[in-house]
């Protein structure tokens, strides 16, 4: 605990340097030791439960006084139920395989000269999240399991809760023998601005929050950012769709939970089936109290509000859906690649070839055939733990599990071999025999 | 040919948009078609050989007139030998497996709901290289094989050579049925500045050239950069080293080829063996005409120049080596993590435990035990083709093969499943059965 409290008096660049040094040692800590530390952290959180909930009460009171909106108050709340949830999360994390130290490939370059590609932590991760204090526990334990040091900045309205959570985690990890200085809590906006400038010390930024928040972070750093700003997801109803299935998938993609990035925002309908399909889907969506906006061709079939150009790029995160009639598969693909956010897009069709064309040509992290866009999620994908959802085109894409927090190094084990022996007229030949 | 010539009149942002559209289609082109196009490209280069060499003569004459230094003239030269080399490179590339469309993982989420993680191209790659025109052929064909569109900028002194090479490649690819607009040649510094600002259209930048050049590029873009600026590589001679082997590995790491990033720049010697080892290694290095600079403890044993603080961070790329005496393994690790560039570092020791500690704690892309740092190379690693060497901590690290030019997408194949059925009190359970 001492170390985290002391750390708060240090400059961010100093804390990042401490974190970097700690990350080197944490990267070599054995799985059993990391799991034992995670177990101690869960125990310490439960033992400090009353104090944590009390700290959260102070945050909640201040937030109520300052007039924070009800949904944000709900996200800020950290009670016994939330505590039990994060501890259950830690115990699931303990059971996951260690992403560090896995041999990803091995080759014999020559007799007695063996090359191994081995997974290792990325180094120092900077995490910035909005009000939910449970994110602090989730992300710091994910970093621990994957051997990364972490600098965390939570919402200022959760300051008391975040402090006691970070102190509890640091102290328990300390007691379990982990290298000190692997976790640091930042508290001000200036701290974040300072951190985002430290591209020499910090290897990856993970923002968690609204799309405006994520976009704000992305625009202010040269450090790679893992995440997504928008989730403008599409469902395309092909001419060869089973229309009953198409209605079901549209309703689920749009209405099963509207406030999330993998909910659909635009429905594209092939002109051939639009006259039959649109009235059916309208009835089903309106039964869910979903507001509909359409282009002229849609409105010629069902009487709904007009969708403007802006609608095609809007993530409503609400019971609102824009609808467009398109002339076939390629028009749908073009619309998605133009207006989409590269997150999750689905086709409904009975035609395998058209489905394959859609999945190959739609340039998105997740491309679905006859399934709801809402399946795009780390837990549903069986990743065990979700670090975030990425719309990046390098490193990790779509739902990211623990694997997204590691990279690899090349280990070459020799017996004194030199390159001079492998060059020139009498050069030894490499065998390049695959070992694994 | 028309398309590349026309493209030169378009704005860079327009060319990037054309490239992005082409990249979508190129990403879905079958292996056989890409390989046939590569074959046509090699044929066209040979057929246009006389014209290419003639264009290169004009570049060489202009360069001689303007007083370009001899080593740069040598790099600029593109004669029949170079032409044969790049064509041989293309034929090797044809034989390599397609990095696109590989199933990296597959899971059954539930009966009839199957999730596949499939490799796909990154999208649009921006490549900036210095004088060698052969780099244009290598990198554009690597991009083609991996299904990526490419914007290329070569050295202005090679303008005529680059034009005819790019035109020949584009025309041959066109004739082979590849989507037009996948390759664009940029010609001015302003073009490069414009390109580096297009982080919406361009997904990855690959700079090829001197470390100053790469650092220049890295500091001017928000687009991810694959590469390395410095190659400050170390050889550490442990107390338990076979000293004869240690001399051999030091000489090879330093002197086998000095002008490259994986040549050693600093030698670290455990104090216990320094009195015996230093005179031996001095004799061997001086026989190679290598200049030696040492810290005070080194100079107390062998009479060489003084190394200053700056030397530990200097990439000589020459017959110069800095030497430091350290107190054991951990001091060596600390020195490397502080002054190194995260490229390639080697330990010489007979002690497996110390070797493992070194390889785990040195935070570099390539960590070697009893082998020359000069082995750090894509061809020697058996990658088949080398895109570059990366000191990044995400996506790809160390020597990067074709795999570094792809990412993946998630394809979910369902039969109409909705998320609502997997939530609530009677929720269906995911099976999460591994398929592959």
Cα B43 to Cα B35: distance, rounded to the nearest angstrom: 12
Pairing between strand A433-434 and A103-110? Answer: antiparallel
B-chain residue closest to A352, CA distance: B413
Q: Which residues contact B69 (CB under 8 A, 6 or more apart)?
A: none
Helix A80-95 to helix A49-65 angle (10° resolution) is 130
A-chain residue closest to B106, CA distance: A381
The pLDDT tens digits of the residues spanning A63-110 come to: 999 999 988 899 899 999 999 999 999 999 999 999 999 999 999 999
The SS3 of residue B364 is coil
Kindly state whether A412 is in contact with chain B, defined as any CB-CB distance less than 8 angstroms: yes
Confidence of residue B2 (pLDDT cuts 50, 70, 90): very low
Contacts of B413 in chain A (CB under 8 A): 355, 368-371
CB atoms within 10 A of CB A156: 12
CB-CB under 8 Å, B224 with A370: no
Kindly state whether B31 is in contact with chain A, defined as any CB-CB distance less than 8 angstroms: no
The SS3 of residue B72 is helix
Among residues A263, A249, A231, A275, the alpha carbon closest in space to that of A349 is found at A249
CB-CB under 8 Å, A242 with B361: no
Helices (H), A104-263: 134-145, 159-175, 189-196, 211-218, 243-255
CB-CB under 8 Å, B423 with A368: no
Of B107, B357, B413, the CB nearest to A382: B107
Contacts of B222 in chain A (CB under 8 A): 222
Q: Which residues contact B425 (CB under 8 A, 6 or more apart)?
A: none
User: Which CATH code, of 1.10.10.10, 1.10.1060.10, 3.40.605.10, 3.30.2350.10, is assigned to B2-218?
Assistant: 3.40.605.10
CA dihedral B89, B92, B97, B99 (to 10 degrees): 0
Taking a C-beta distance cutoff of 8 angstroms, is the pair A200, A119 a contact?
Answer: no
CB-CB under 8 Å, B374 with A419: yes
* DSSP bridge partners of B108: B114, B433
Q: Residue A50: pLDDT above 70?
A: yes
Average pLDDT of A372-397? 94
Confidence of residue A126 (pLDDT cuts 50, 70, 90): very high
The pLDDT tens digits of the residues spanning B282-336 come to: 999 999 999 999 999 999 999 999 999 999 999 999 999 999 999 999 999 999 9
DSSP symbol at A98: P
Kindly state whether B17 is in contact with chain A, defined as any CB-CB distance less than 8 angstroms: no
Contacts of A423 in chain B (CB under 8 A): 256
Taking a C-beta distance cutoff of 8 angstroms, is the pair B135, B154 a contact?
Answer: yes
CB-CB under 8 Å, A361 with B24: yes
Kindly state whether A74 is in contact with chain B, defined as any CB-CB distance less than 8 angstroms: no
The H or E element that residue B323 is part of is: strand B320-326
CB atoms within 10 A of CB B296: 10
Cα A173 to Cα B328: distance, rounded to the nearest angstrom: 29
The pLDDT tens digits of the residues spanning B387-422 come to: 999 999 999 999 999 999 999 999 999 999 999 999
- Closest-CA distance of chain A to residue B345, Å: 10
CB-CB under 8 Å, B361 with A109: no
Q: Residue B4: pLDDT above 70?
A: no
Average pLDDT of B114-127? 98
Average pLDDT of B254-275? 97
B4: tokens are 């590349």
Cα A166 to Cα A185: distance, rounded to the nearest angstrom: 7
Cα A395 to Cα A204: distance, rounded to the nearest angstrom: 11
A286: tokens are 């309106």
- B233-375 shares the fold of B2-218: no
Contacts of B257 in chain A (CB under 8 A): 419
B279: tokens are 């005179």
DSSP symbol at A427: P
Of B256, B397, B415, the CB nearest to A407: B397
Residue A307's pLDDT is 98
Confidence of residue A219 (pLDDT cuts 50, 70, 90): confident
> Mean pLDDT across chain A, nearest whole number?
95
Question: Which residues of chain A from 187 to 216 reach within 8 Å of chain B, CB to CB?
Answer: 203-204
Taking a C-beta distance cutoff of 8 angstroms, is the pair B107, B432 a contact?
Answer: yes
Contacts of A424 in chain B (CB under 8 A): none
A-chain residue closest to B415, CA distance: A370
> Mean pLDDT across chain B, nearest whole number?
95
Of A115, A382, A416, the CB nearest to B381: A115
CA dihedral B101, A353, B23, B381 (to 10 degrees): 10
Residue A212's pLDDT is 86
Query: At residue B182, what are phi and psi to the nearest 5 degrees?
Result: -85, -15
* DSSP bridge partners of B367: A411, B345
Query: At residue A89, what are phi and psi to the nearest 5 degrees?
Result: -60, -40
Q: Residue A363: pLDDT above 90?
A: yes
Among residues A144, A151, A152, A150, the alpha carbon closest in space to that of A176 is found at A144
The domain limits of chain A are 2-218, 233-375
CB-CB under 8 Å, B370 with A413: yes
Contacts of A407 in chain B (CB under 8 A): 392-395, 397
Cα A106 to Cα A116: distance, rounded to the nearest angstrom: 4
CB-CB under 8 Å, A28 with B361: yes
Spelled out in words, what is the top-level CATH class assigned to the domain B233-375?
alpha beta
Q: Residue A21: pLDDT above 90?
A: yes
The pLDDT tens digits of the residues spanning B68-120 come to: 998 889 989 999 999 999 999 999 999 999 999 999 999 999 999 999 999 99
Contacts of A430 in chain B (CB under 8 A): 380, 382
* DSSP bridge partners of A269: A237, A325
Q: Residue A209: pLDDT above 90?
A: no
Q: Residue A229: pLDDT above 50?
A: yes
- Closest-CA distance of chain B to residue A152, Å: 20
CB-CB under 8 Å, A363 with B27: yes
Question: Which residues of chain A from 36 to 55 reach within 8 Å of chain B, CB to CB?
Answer: none
Cα B158 to Cα B383: distance, rounded to the nearest angstrom: 29
Residue B3's pLDDT is 54
The pLDDT tens digits of the residues spanning B159-216 come to: 999 999 999 999 999 999 999 999 999 999 999 999 999 999 999 999 988 888 888 9
Q: Which residues contact B353 (CB under 8 A, 6 or more apart)?
A: none
Compute the count of residue pairs across chains A and B with CB atoms less than 8 Å apart.
214
A-chain residue closest to B382, CA distance: A432
Burial (CB count within 10 angstroms: exposed 0-12, middle 13-18, buried 19+), residue B267 = buried
Of A375, A382, A416, the CB nearest to B249: A416
A317: left (phi over 0), alpha (psi -120 to 50) or beta: left
CB atoms within 10 A of CB B356: 16
Contacts of A224 in chain B (CB under 8 A): 224, 394
Cα B53 to Cα B78: distance, rounded to the nearest angstrom: 6
Taking a C-beta distance cutoff of 8 angstroms, is the pair B8, B181 a contact?
Answer: no
DSSP symbol at A311: G
Q: Can you give A350-364 as a three-state secondary structure string? A: CCHHHHHHHHHHCCC
CB-CB under 8 Å, A256 with B371: no
Taking a C-beta distance cutoff of 8 angstroms, is the pair A148, A407 a contact?
Answer: no
Of A122, A204, A256, the CB nearest to B420: A256
Query: At residue A320, what are phi and psi to the nearest 5 degrees?
Result: -140, 140
Contacts of B409 in chain A (CB under 8 A): 359, 364-367, 397-398
Q: What is the DSSP string of B34-61?
A: HHHHHHHHHHHHHHTHHHHHHHHHHHHH
Average pLDDT of A226-252? 96
CB-CB under 8 Å, B361 with A416: no
Residue A145's pLDDT is 98
CB-CB under 8 Å, B256 with A411: no
Taking a C-beta distance cutoff of 8 angstroms, is the pair B320, B288 a contact?
Answer: no
Confidence of residue A308 (pLDDT cuts 50, 70, 90): very high
* DSSP bridge partners of A209: none
Taking a C-beta distance cutoff of 8 angstroms, is the pair A202, A67 a contact?
Answer: no
Confidence of residue A188 (pLDDT cuts 50, 70, 90): very high
A-chain residue closest to B117, CA distance: A366
Kindly state whether A58 is in contact with chain B, defined as any CB-CB distance less than 8 angstroms: no
- Closest-CA distance of chain A to residue B361, Å: 6
CB-CB under 8 Å, A359 with B411: yes
ipTM value, please give it.
Answer: 0.95
Question: Which residues of chain B from 299 to 358 reach within 8 Å of chain A, CB to CB?
Answer: 337, 348, 355, 357
């Amino acid at each position: 605990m001492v170390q985290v409290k002391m750390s708060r008096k240090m400059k961010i660049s100093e804390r990042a340097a401490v974190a970097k040094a700690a990350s080197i040692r944490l990267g070599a800590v054995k799985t059993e030791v990391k799991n034992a530390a995670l177990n101690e952290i869960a125990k310490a959180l439960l033992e400090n439960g009353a104090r944590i909930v009390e700290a959260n009460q102070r945050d909640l009171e201040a937030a109520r006084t300052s007039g924070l909106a009800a949904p944000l108050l709900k996200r800020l709340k950290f009670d016994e139920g939330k505590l039990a949830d994060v501890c259950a999360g830690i115990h699931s994390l303990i059971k996951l395989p260690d992403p560090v130290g896995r041999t990803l490939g091995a080759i014999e370059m020559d007799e007695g000269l063996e090359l191994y590609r081995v997974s290792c932590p990325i180094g120092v991760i900077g995490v910035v999240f909005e009000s939910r204090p449970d994110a602090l526990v989730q992300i710091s334990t994910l970093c621990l399991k994957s051997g990364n040091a972490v600098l965390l900045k939570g919402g200022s309205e959760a300051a008391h809760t975040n402090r006691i959570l970070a102190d509890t985690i640091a102290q328990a990890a300390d007691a379990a023998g982990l290298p000190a200085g692997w976790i640091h809590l930042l508290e001000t906006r200036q701290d974040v601005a300072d951190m985002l400038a430290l591209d020499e010390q910090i290897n990856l930024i993970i923002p968690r929050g609204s799309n405006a928040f994520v976009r704000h972070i992305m625009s202010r750093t040269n450090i790679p950012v893992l995440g997504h700003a928008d989730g403008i997801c599409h469902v395309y109803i092909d001419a060869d769709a089973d229309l009953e299935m198409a209605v079901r998938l549209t309703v689920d993609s749009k209405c099963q939970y509207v406030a999330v990035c993998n909910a659909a925002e635009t429905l594209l309908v092939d002109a051939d089936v639009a006259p039959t399909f649109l009235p059916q889907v309208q009835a089903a969506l309106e039964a869910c109290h979903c507001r509909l906006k359409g282009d002229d061709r849609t409105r010629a079939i069902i009487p709904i509000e007009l969708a403007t150009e802006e609608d095609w790029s809007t993530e409503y995160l609400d019971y609102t859906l824009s609808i467009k009639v398109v002339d076939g598969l390629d028009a749908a693909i073009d619309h998605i690649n133009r207006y989409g956010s590269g997150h999750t897009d689905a086709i409904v069709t009975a035609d395998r070839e058209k489905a394959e064309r859609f999945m190959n040509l739609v340039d998105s992290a997740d491309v679905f055939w006859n399934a709801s866009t809402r399946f795009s999620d780390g837990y549903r994908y069986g990743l065990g733990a979700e670090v975030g959802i990425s719309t990046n085109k390098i490193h990790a894409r779509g739902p990211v599990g623990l694997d997204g927090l590691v990279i690899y190094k090349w280990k070459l084990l020799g017996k004194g071999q030199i390159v001079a022996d492998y060059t020139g007229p009498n050069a030894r030949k490499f065998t390049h025999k695959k070992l694994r």
